[in-house]
Amino acid sequence: MIDTGEGKEKYQSVLSNVLKEENCTIDKVLLTHWHRDHVGGTSQIKDLNSEATFSKCNSSDELSEYLPIKDGDIFEVDGVKLTAVHTPGHTTDHMVFFIEETGELFTGDSILGQGTAVFENLSTYISSLKRQLDLNPKILYPGHGPMISGSNARGKIQEYITHRQQREDEIIKVMTDAGGEVTAMDIVKVIYARYPQSLWPAAEHSVLLHLNKLKDEGRTKAVEDRWTLVSRQSAL
């Protein structure tokens, strides 16, 4: 089983009925990342099978209640072999799971069935998207939203990368046009001018993640909350 859901009250009975219908049990649980909507049902799974094991990437050296998953680990169940791929960005501990024989990729929250994903670190997130693209998946099973198959699978990953590149280009243009120091909110007011101002704080956070990525690449610099463009050259 991949992820446990958030622990909604009715989930355990629904899952129990499915297991009975399919005449199977849950032995191993692989967790894509630590967010509650992916690990919140852990106790419910334990109620169904107290012997079930739970595995997750440990993003630090701290002790964890989960068995560790490392990049490249292989898990086999009933003839199915899944390879764990570390894909940080959404969270530092994020993992996806790939079945090479069929091209099926379980993407957690790295790639969603609808909309775009949030992320903690844009530099690592872009690298993780490119790594998933290199797997050449044929089917995506996101943690949220519908599955994506056929040419749309690679297309969805490329869409995510292109979207981030377009936003980066917009930010660089605003900074170039300003010709000097700007704040993240200065950029938001231009790029998101047509959006409700209630959305601007969230947009500011996203812009800051882009600015920090550019800073990591040596393309921007910051003094307190004011940012200056150093280089327009793209690294994507």
Q: In terms of pLDDT, which residue wins out, 78 or 13?
A: 13
In this structure, CATH architecture of domain 11-149: 4-Layer Sandwich (3.60)
Give span(s): CATH 3.60.15.10, the chain. Answer: 11-149
| Per-residue confidence band for 59, with pLDDT thresholds at 50, 70 and 90 | low
Residue 17 has pLDDT above 80, yes or no: yes
pLDDT > 90: percent of the chain: 83
Q: In this structure, what token pair is assigned to residue 127?
A: 């690298």
Spatial CB neighbours of 233, under 8 Å, sequence gap ≥ 6? 219
- Of the listed ranges 74-83, 214-223, 227-236, the least confidently predicted one is 227-236
What is the SS3 assignment for 224?
coil
Contact by Cβ (8 Å): 30, 75 = yes
**For residues 148-153, average pLDDT:** 93
pLDDT, mean over the chain: 93
Q: pTM of the predicted model, to two decimals?
A: 0.89
Cα–Cα distance measured from residue 36 to residue 142, given in angstroms and rounded to the nearest whole number? 16
Is the model's pLDDT at 26 over the cut of 80?
A: yes
Write the DSSP string, 104-145: EEEEETTS-SSS----S-HHHHHHHHHHHHHT--SEEEESSS
Rg of the chain (C-alpha set): 20
7 and 48 in contact (C-beta within 8 Å)? no
Residue 80 and residue 55: Cα distance in Å, rounded? Answer: 17
Asked whether residue 231 carries a pLDDT value surpassing 90, the answer given is no
Band (58; pLDDT cuts 50, 70, 90): confident
Inter-helix orientation angle 151-178/184-191, to 10°: 120
Q: Are 30 and 2 in contact (CB under 8 A)?
A: yes
CB-based contact 1:78 (threshold 8 Å) = no
Read off the pLDDT band of 78 (50, 70, 90).
Answer: confident
d(CA 127, CA 95): 13
Given a cut of 70, is residue 53 above it in pLDDT?
yes
CATH classification for the domain delimited by 166-229, as one of 3.30.413.10, 2.40.50.140, 1.10.10.10, 3.40.50.300: 1.10.10.10
Rounded distance between C-alpha atoms, residue 151 and residue 115, angstroms: 18
Domain with CATH 1.10.10.10 in the chain: 166-229
pLDDT value for 77? 83
Rounded mean pLDDT, 69-92: 94
Residues of the chain with pLDDT > 70, as a percent, come to 96
Burial of 186 (0-12, 13-18, 19+ CB in 10 A): middle
Work out the pLDDT band at 203, boundaries 50, 70, 90.
very high
